[in-house]
């Protein structure tokens, strides 16, 4: 059997949920488990986070799968429903929906549903992605309050720069200006805001990346935030090459040895979800010792430097990210973010719970 696998540490997942609780003890938690639980397995993550009061997913299919698996918590559709045909399913399975455009309100006004649907009315407070602009927010709220198919209304926004130097001040001020005096629950904080801006915690927090043990901040490590990696991507050395000085390795000959170099071939490539654009020098652990990638990542394999790695040979264990090697480091080397790497884990990679 090919040695590549992703190990999912459920104890670490529960620990990270405890960090959320510690930062926002007065708020209820909607655990964001879209994108197949950020690559960790949606149902697996939901089971481990049964203490959460709610889950957030992308679409109706994911939400129904949670209900059919027996989960009773609130379930929120982060992009809402996409057609009126989905509304009966929302009512049947008691699914909550983000409302971000006039067309969704019109569908609700026209629907004759047997039960009311809880909604999260989204304010576009500055991200300019989804949501009602401030001048349209009040009218949207009034229409939802009058709609017979609408139950509880929660006021919601999403921060664009909670992980950046500029922070959330302008967006929070916009939200507070419109929400002041309104008797409705509030949901604002993503992982970065949970950790840095307690004034934005509100009634519901929406942790995502921090649950999976990765820092939402480029300048702050997960370890310093007491977050533990949940996914560890491991493999092994399956081939060896001794490169004389001047010889290259891999497609495009992008790495050429300046001195005699012992290279190891690892069973992992971009078809498994490892970033093809990770350059020479991207860190890797071999036999628990820090080393580096050499040359271009292939579809099924990549090459690592074994020079000076004691005891390295065929079968030596390799950690590509996770325990002992933060996924943020790999992402930074590859010019991306940890979210992308975790979500990109390929279906062909075996997943085991530890």
For tokens 């005699």, name the residue.
260
Task: List the catalytic residue out of 116, 228, 251, 274.
Answer: 251
How far apart are alpha carbons 127 and 131 in whole angstroms? 9
Q: How far is CA 279 from CA 65, 250, 318, 322, in A?
A: 39, 12, 17, 19
Task: List the catalytic residue out of 34, 228, 274, 339.
Answer: 34
- Return the pLDDT at 137: 98
Which residues are CB-neighbours of 165 under 8 A, at least 6 positions away?
none
Q: Judge whether 251 counts as a catalytic residue.
A: yes
pLDDT in tens, the chain (354 residues): 999 999 999 999 999 999 999 999 999 999 999 999 999 999 999 999 999 999 999 999 999 999 999 999 999 999 999 999 999 999 999 999 999 999 999 999 999 999 999 999 999 999 999 999 999 999 999 999 999 999 999 999 999 999 999 999 999 999 999 999 999 999 999 999 999 999 999 999 999 999 999 999 999 999 999 999 999 999 999 999 999 999 999 999 999 999 999 999 999 999 999 999 999 999 999 999 999 999 999 999 999 999 989 899 999 999 999 999 999 999 999 999 999 999 999 999 999 999
Q: How far is CA 117 from CA 98, 122, 150, in A?
A: 11, 15, 5
Q: Judge whether 116 counts as a catalytic residue.
A: no
Q: 36-62: b or e for each residue (b if 16 or more CB lie within 10 Å)?
A: bbbbbbbbbbbebbeebebbbbbebeb
Tens-place pLDDT, residues 190-218: 999 999 999 999 999 999 999 999 999 99
- Domain annotation for the chain: domains and CATH numbers: 10-214 (3.20.20.10), 231-353 (2.40.37.10)
Tens-place pLDDT, residues 233-260: 999 999 999 999 999 999 999 999 999 9
């Amino acid at each position: 059997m090919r040695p590549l696998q992703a190990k999912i540490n459920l104890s670490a997942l529960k620990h990270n949920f405890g960090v959320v609780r510690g930062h926002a003890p007065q708020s209820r938690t909607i655990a964001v488990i879209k994108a197949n639980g950020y690559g960790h397995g949606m149902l697996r993550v939901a089971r481990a986070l049964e203490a959460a009061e709610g889950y957030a997913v992308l679409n109706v299919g994911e939400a129904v799968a949670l209900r059919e698996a027996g989960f009773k918590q609130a379930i929120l559709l982060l992009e809402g429903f996409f057609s009126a045909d989905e509304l009966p399913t929302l009512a049947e399975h008691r699914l909550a929906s983000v409302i971000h455009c006039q067309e969704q309100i019109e569908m609700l006004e026209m629907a004759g549903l047997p039960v009311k649907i809880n909604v999260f009315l989204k304010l576009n407070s500055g991200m300019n992605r989804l949501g009602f602009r401030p001048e349209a927010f009040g009218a949207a709220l009034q229409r939802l309050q009058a709609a017979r198919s609408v139950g509880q209304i929660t006021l919601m926004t999403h921060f664009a720069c909670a992980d950046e130097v500029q922070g959330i001040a302008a967006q929070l001020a916009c939200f507070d200006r419109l929400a002041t005096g309104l008797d409705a629950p509030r949901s604002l904080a993503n992982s970065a805001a949970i950790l840095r801006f307690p004034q934005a915690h509100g009634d519901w927090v929406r942790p995502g990346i921090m649950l999976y043990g990765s820092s939402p901040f480029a300048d702050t490590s997960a370890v310093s935030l007491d977050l533990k990696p949940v996914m560890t991507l491991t493999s092994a050395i399956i081939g060896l090459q001794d490169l004389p000085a001047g010889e290259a390795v891999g497609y495009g000959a992008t790495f050429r040895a300046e001195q005699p170099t012992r290279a190891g071939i690892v069973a992992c490539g971009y078809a498994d979800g490892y970033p093809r654009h990770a350059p020479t020098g991207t860190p890797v652990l071999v036999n628990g010792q820090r080393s580096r990638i050499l040359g271009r990542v292939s579809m099924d394999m990549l090459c690592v430097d074994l020079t000076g790695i004691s005891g390295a040979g065929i079968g030596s264990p390799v950690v590509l990210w996770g325990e002992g090697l933060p996924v943020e480091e790999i992402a930074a080397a590859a010019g991306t973010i940890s979210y992308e790497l975790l979500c990109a884990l390929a279906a062909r990679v075996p997943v085991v719970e530890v």
